[in-house]
Amino acid sequence: MQDKYDKRRAFQEAQNQYKQAIDTFQGMEPNSPGYGNELKHVKQEANEAYQQIQTALTTASEHQRVQLEQFEKDLQGIIQAVNEE
């Protein structure tokens, strides 16, 4: 039972961190004076989400693995977009 809980918890933490990174990215204002700080914050959020995903992948079910891999792809797109700025 504990193992199932740990898998679910790891997945939920990765999912929450992923959503936070997406929300931060979508909330960026390119014309705002604090845009440079926003870029740094998005990078930090994306890196934290990526680390959570890597942790969750070690115990993920097949269904969770598919979702986590999609999260990774989305984060790679965000990081690429931020690095192009």
Model confidence, pTM: 0.87
**What is the torsion angle, in degrees rounded to the nearest 10, for the CA atoms of residue 48, residue 54, residue 58 and residue 64?**
90
What are the φ and ψ backbone dihedral angles of 15, each rounded to 5 degrees?
A: -65, -45
Give the model confidence (pLDDT) of 27-79 as tens digits. 999 888 999 899 999 999 999 999 999 999 999 999 999 999 999 999 999 99
Contact 7, 31 (CB under 8 A): no
User: Which residue in 1, 2, 14, 19 sits closest to 60, CA to CA?
Assistant: 14
